[in-house]
Amino acid sequence: MAKLNFSNMKGKILSVTALLLCCASVSLGAVEYIRHSQGYYEAKLIFRLEASVEQWTSRFQFESTVQNFTVRVPNTQIFNASNAITYNFGSVGYFPIAVGEWAIDFSVAYQDTGSMPQLQLASFNGRDLDTGYIAPPTTTARPTKPPPSTGEHHYDEIIALSLEFYEAQRSGKLPPNNRIWWRGDSFLDDGQLNGLDLSGGYTDAADLVKFGFALVSTTTVLNWGLIDFLPGYNSANQTGYAEDAVKWALDFLIKAHPTSHEFYGQVADADVDHAWWGRPEDWDQGLRESWKITRDKPGSELAAEGAAAFASGYLVFRNRNSSYAQELLRHARELYSFADEFRGDYTDAIPAEGFYDSWSGYGDELGWAAAWLYRATNESKYLQDVNRHWTEFNLSRRADKFSWDDKKAGLQVLMGKLTREDKYLSPATQFCDYMKNTQQRTPKGLVFIQEWGSLRHSANIAFICLNLAELGVKSAEYREFAKEQIHYALGAGGRSYVVGYGENPPQRPRHRASSCPPRPSPCNRQNGLYNPGPNYYTLYGALVGGPGSQDDYVDDRDDYVRNEVAIDYNAGFQGALAALQKLKINGQLP
């Protein structure tokens, strides 16, 4: 009798004992999680028949009482029963099942005040087969609604998938409504070496480091999409999940800013982290170090972008949670003053050099932070500061990207939105015109900035130009351009680059947790990173780095340039999707 262990949504163990087919060879594929909300989950038992059968019976036994249990099987009546621990079901009449892959789809409802009922026994025709684990196929992707024949996409469902990716990146104590069943609590002792609680937040990419500069930038961009494309989120029924996503980041950032002139900008030594491969829940390399900026070792890029994240967060929550919003605004004011008064490069204080260097300097972040504070408060001193930084750092230059490093294009569009002045709108227009008409493209049309994270750059450009189009600047032209870039990522170039979505999506994204086999199997480089098969769990919604300049791409987990995922990759991408969804519901989609 073979036991297979799967982490459930609370980090506990979901034990599945396979008792399989009499007199026929059967290989158990997996119990694959589909979706979860508190009090309800859907899953499927996937296996392969090596010989056909005509009739069958099955028995599922749970650890505790299940309020409602439903099974959906091909060529079989739907089985539904309530308030039991053990359920017996099977075929009705003779419906031969051919050799090949087969699945039992089931759903479970339980008391939402209790823990997720653990499936302890699954039997098929009363006999067992000792077998190992076979990774489930991941080519069948959600969403289940077929794309329209016109070549359009269901933006609402892709937004939902992107938000699931952020949940998969959560660090710390997971909430009761965690939907990523194969993730559990992790790094609860972060900050202990510094005498404070730095648990929570998001791990950065494939790795498990919390890089502050990337995190604050991601948070600001996610907030911006929620603020200006809220109708897109509302119509997708994803506003609550999006607010949860940014609040998860903001709650951590509040803890990372314990005093007015201290801001923690990295948790974990990146070199130590990158030398280890495994589940976040299994970290065994000791307590993780944390680094901060101070008056003596300032970091204006980090502090200013943190101020922008807090100020934009204030705008997200001011009409929903006024006391929380006021706390965010206080942190924004303090961090901006710290960034402007005590100037310096943050990598002089924090060992992020070689990972998140600020090549653009800190002038763009100072202007960006002042602009967000002006939007949040309407106080003239912040407008004056924008113009001071605008001149001091020559922020009217045409940007060559919009990224976690370079905020000029975002600043120009944001100030154009707030003032409608040509001094801001003109360089923003130059940016979108250049990207649309002059910037290098791949043969299939992707705007190409650089090899590393090519899709992240094109999505960010789309997000900026969709924001500019909202102001009536070449609206039809920029919207068509942005839609073209987002659709490339969704499959217009011949394949999807969003995990779990569309045609031939990536199956081997570079990502630790999803690459690990189910417990109790260990996870390491050999069976995680270098496993030739698909990731054991589908990292729904993650945007991979993307193709090279010739549309070249190989679905290879070891390729960290093209196949890694990261929290900043999905930020502008998700905002652009919300913008397109807004246009769609308003009948303005090109």
CB neighbour burial string for 481-508, b if at least 16 within 10 angstroms, e if fewer: bbbbbbbbbbbbbebbbbbbbbeebbbb
The two counts, helices (H) then strands (E), for the chain are 15, 11
Q: How far apart are CA 122 and CA 74, in angstroms?
A: 18
Question: For residue 439, what are its two tokens?
Answer: 């910037």
Q: How far apart are CA 268 and CA 156, in angstroms?
A: 35
Sheet of 210-211: strand order equals 210-211, 263-267, 290-293
Q: Using an 8 Å Cβ cutoff, are 564 and 205 in contact?
A: yes
Number of CB atoms found within 10 A of residue 440's CB: 10
Amino acid at 362: Y
Question: For residue 77, what are its two tokens?
Answer: 């009546």
Q: What share of residues in the chain are helix, strand, coil (percent, to 5)?
A: 40, 20, 45
* From 251, 281, 555, 559, the catalytic residue: 555
> Both ends of the chain: CA-CA distance in Å?
58
Interacting residues of 486 by C-beta distance below 8 A, sequence separation 6+: 459, 462, 573, 576, 577, 580
Most distant CA pair in the chain, distance: 81
Active site residue 555: yes
What DSSP assignment string belongs to 105-155?
EEEEE--TTSPPPPEEEEEETTB-------PPP--S-S--SPPPTTS---H
Backbone angles phi, psi at 54, to 5 degrees: -110, -35
CA distances from 540 to 50, 163, 165, 544 (A): 30, 9, 6, 11
CB neighbour burial string for 168-202, b if at least 16 within 10 angstroms, e if fewer: bbbbbebeeebbbbbbbbbbeebbeebeebbbbbb
Active site residue 207: no
Give me the residues paired with residue 4 across strands: 16
Cis bond upstream, residue 520 (ω within 30)? yes
Q: How far apart are CA 556 and CA 511, in angstroms?
A: 11
Q: Using an 8 Å Cβ cutoff, are 129 and 21 in contact?
A: yes
Amino acid at 547: P
* From 190, 301, 564, 568, the catalytic residue: 564
Q: 83: part of which helix (H) or strand (E)?
A: strand 79-90
Q: How far apart are CA 454 and CA 439, in angstroms?
A: 13
Q: Is 212 exposed, middle or buried (0-12, 13-18, 19+ CB in 10 A)?
A: buried
Active site residues: 555, 564
